[in-house]
Amino acid sequence: MLTQLKRSVAALEKSRELQPLFAEVARAYQSEVGFRLFTITAIDQSLPKPVRRLWSSHPELYPIGGDKELASDAWTDKVMGSQQLMICNTASDIAATYPDHDVIDSLGCGSGMNLPIVLAGEVLGTLNIFNAARWFDEERIDRAHAMLALVYAPMLLTRIFGKA
C-alpha cells in the first residue's frame, strides 16, 4: 500500500487531474481487498441529480461522470441515512438490492459492499466494491473500511476542482 500512497502523492504533485489518484486508490483496494468491479461515487445533496460516478474499473459499463438521482430504498436508508456500510454476500442479495444486478452478475460478481465516505456527519460519496459470492469476510471488511482514508483527499479535491 505504501507504493500506492507514493504514487498518489506524485500524481497530485504533477497535476490537478484526479483520475490517476483514483486509479491509485483502486490499485490499493485491488491489492488489499480484491475486486471484480470497483466504483467511486460523489454525492452532493444540493443537486437535482446528486450522485456522480467519479471512477470505475469498468468505464465501458459504468461510465465516469454520469449523474443520477438517489432512489428511495433500503440501500439509501442504510448507506445514506444511517451512514452504515451495506453488504450483499450472495447473488440473490445483489438481485434484491441493485437494479443493474444483471450487469454485476455478468462480471462474475456474487457479492457487493458499499462504504459511505462520511466527513463530519455528511456522506460525501460511496466506495463500491464487488467480487465473488461471500467474498466479504470480517478481515476484508475491516481492511476496506480502514483504507477509506485514501479516498478523502481525492473526494474533497473533486469538490474543490468541480470535477474528477
- Helix segments in 59-136, DSSP class H: 74-75, 91-97, 101-106
Q: Tens digit of pLDDT per residue, the chain (164 long)?
A: 667 667 777 777 777 788 988 998 999 999 999 999 999 999 988 888 889 999 999 999 999 987 888 787 888 889 989 999 999 999 999 999 999 999 999 999 999 999 999 999 999 999 999 999 999 999 999 999 999 999 998 999 888 887 77
Residue by residue, DSSP assigns 120-138 as TTEEEEEEEEEESTT---H
**Which amino acid is it at 140?**
R
pLDDT at 85: 95
**Which residue, 123, 149, 155, 153, is CA-closest to 55?**
155
Cβ-based burial of 21 (10 A; exposed 0-12, middle 13-18, buried ≥19):
buried
CB 9 within 8 A of CB 26: no
Q: Which CATH superfamily does the domain covering 2-158 fall into?
A: GAF domain (3.30.450.40)
C-alpha cell at 108: 462474475
pLDDT at 20: 87
Residue with cell 474499473: 57
Secondary structure of the chain: what % helix, strand, coil (to 5)?
A: 45, 25, 35
pLDDT at 34: 98
Strand order in the sheet with 86-88: 67-68, 51-56, 37-43, 122-131, 111-119, 86-88
**Which residue, 74, 77, 67, 63, is CA-closest to 46?**
67
pLDDT at 53: 94
Which residues pair with residue 51 across a beta bridge? 43, 68
Which residues pair with residue 159 across a beta bridge? none
- Domain assignments of the chain as residue spans, ordered by start: 2-158
Beta carbons within 10 angstroms of residue 80's beta carbon? 19
